[in-house]
Amino acid sequence: MEATIEVRELRKQFGRTVAVDGLSFTVEPGQVTGFVGPNGAGKSTTMRSILGLDTPDGGQALIGGRRYAQLRTPLREVGALLDAAAVHPSRRGRDHLLWLARSHGIPRRRVDEVIGQVGLESAARRRAGGYSLGMRQRLGIAAALLGDPPVLMFDEPVNGLDTEGIRWIRGFVRTLAREGRAVLISSHLMSELEDSADHLVVIGRGRLIADTSVAELLSAASGDRVALRTTARTDAMGVLAREGAQVAADGRDSLTVTGMRAERITAVLGTAGVPFSEVREHRATLEEAYMELTRDSVEFAATGPEPVETGEL
């Protein structure tokens, strides 16, 4: 059931606007890949190209090794939510799903299964026109899940949702990835991907800026720094420097140590009998890591097409 999304040297131009500019990345099964970049970076165009809705000018996008047009049962191979508003307002949620299921040869019972999965039971028989944004997102996700596909793509799924809706989507995409699916989820806000993405593909102006695991990105941005509080500053500096750490004084009783893990610092100071009251590893947030990553990139500078939003949720 496992499958990947492979984007290879993808290029798409609209008139003189280069929306996607030689982009390559892979979305692996069993993890949530966050697809991040400011407004206009080319995320939607890439996703539309993967789904065969935009025709690339160069390169290719493959799902399980094949182009979308070559998929025999597309809904069983990839599920996508691109635009939650794309349901006719007079149609009832359940009828929308029944219609989709029927036109793709999917059994009726699967409709009630996905309604249950996304928690839409109480609203499923109401007209979609009266749905809140959160309900429309759930309906769109239910539609994406109908064919039980190994690959899922959600374009800005938490955009405009309330805290409860955001929390639900975060948990839900993690569950889908744990089931072995390849999940690609786009956002223009890094903070929206905190706690849900395992891997990140960062783009700016249609080009790849970073393709990294969240853990690696955070560890690089955290810079291996440890904050140390001690009343014996000079002794601590001497002992730690002798053991190979770089030590800088921050204040009267605080030091920043690099090049040595917290446990080792505790052991070295303990052996030397140097008193200390706090040893704390610096952990960068995803937002800090993102800022560091994109600091030198013109795509994200104030002169770029749009500033990066950094608001907390």
Ligand X SMILES: Nc1ncnc2c1ncn2[C@@H]1O[C@H](COP(=O)(O)OP(=O)(O)OP(=O)(O)O)[C@@H](O)[C@H]1O
40 near ligand X (CB under 6 A)? yes
From the list 38-46, 209-217, 227-235, 283-291, the region that binds ligand X by CB under 6 A is 38-46
In the block, tokens 């948990």 appear at 171
45 near ligand X (CB under 6 A)? yes
Please say which residue, 12 or 138, places its beta carbon nearer to ligand X.
12
Residue numbers 153-182 binding ligand X by CB under 6 A:
none
User: Quick one: which of 31, 33, 44, 230 contacts ligand X (CB under 6 A)?
Assistant: 44
In the block, tokens 């070295």 appear at 268
From the list 39-47, 56-64, 170-178, 224-232, the region that binds ligand X by CB under 6 A is 39-47
Smallest separation, CB 36 to ligand X (Å):
9
Distance CA(295)–CA(25), nearest Å, equals 22
188 near ligand X (CB under 6 A)? yes
Please say which residue, 81 or 260, places its beta carbon nearer to ligand X.
81
User: Quick one: which of 7, 21, 31, 37 contacts ligand X (CB under 6 A)?
Assistant: 37
34 near ligand X (CB under 6 A)? no
41 near ligand X (CB under 6 A)? yes
Residue numbers 5-24 binding ligand X by CB under 6 A:
14, 17, 19
Distance CA(70)–CA(181), nearest Å, equals 20
42 near ligand X (CB under 6 A)? yes
Q: Say if CB 9 and CB 59 are below 8 A apart.
A: yes
Smallest separation, CB 154 to ligand X (Å):
13
Distance CA(190)–CA(172), nearest Å, equals 18
Smallest separation, CB 286 to ligand X (Å):
18
Please say which residue, 39 or 132, places its beta carbon nearer to ligand X.
39
Residues that bind ligand X (CB under 6 A): 14, 17, 19, 37, 39-45, 188
